[in-house]
Amino acid sequence: MSDQWLEETRSLLEDYLQRCLRKDRHPPPTPVAQTLCRVSEEMIDRNREFYESVERLPGDCRTTLEQVAAQLPLEGGLNWGRVVGLIAFAGVLLQRPGEHKGATPQELAEVLSRFLVQEHRDWFQKNGAWDGFYKFCNKHETGQAQENSMFSNALMAAAGFGIVGLVFLLTAR
């Protein structure tokens, strides 16, 4: 099952990261991809100031992402909000001015896929993999966008503060 998860994760994240670069307005190909795009966009909107500061971070994108990913479970554990925060962070890293400081969407998708499916496979499996992500992010969907938005606000606020703290912790070292 993990090979299927790895392939699915790599494909999903590569699509998301390519969309970050192209600003693709075509609908994402699957309901999970649509959910990932929606909640990532909400995460970035609610933490705009932080995500705008990412372009000033030193170092290359891949190394920065690997460092933040390595610290994430140590600084408060994993949850879907923190995972979305990390994925959104990778998308913003790719948008930094210049030549992406040595990283491609494929490379960052590989880093994230390895992080989720290999390094944290038990957590990923316990939380239902991408089906679990989809159900978690849409479980409050009642047809009323306001209720879903309130849920997303709480999820994204908690996750955003975790990512912000990790990045500043790493850049201060």
User: In whole angstroms, what is the distance from residue 66 CA to residue 49 CA?
Assistant: 22
So what's the pLDDT on residue 137?
92
Instruction: Give the CA angle between residues 9, 10, 16 to the nearest 5°.
Output: 90
User: In whole angstroms, what is the distance from residue 73 CA to residue 68 CA?
Assistant: 9
Domain coverage including residue 34: 2-172
Please state whether the predicted TM-score (pTM) of the whole model is above 0.95. Answer: no
For the chain, how many structural domains are there in total?
1
Supply the mean pLDDT for the chain.
81
User: In whole angstroms, what is the distance from residue 157 CA to residue 147 CA?
Assistant: 16
CATH number at residue 73: 1.10.437.10
Question: Mean of the pLDDT values across residues 82-102?
Answer: 83
| pLDDT digit string, tens, across residues 118-167 | 999 999 999 999 999 999 999 865 454 444 444 444 455 445 545 555 55
pLDDT band at 109 (very low <50, low <70, confident <90, very high): very high
The residues, ordered by sequence, that sit 6+ positions from 146 with a Cβ below 8 Å of its Cβ are none
So what's the pLDDT on residue 129?
96
| pLDDT digit string, tens, across residues 62-75 | 999 999 999 999 88
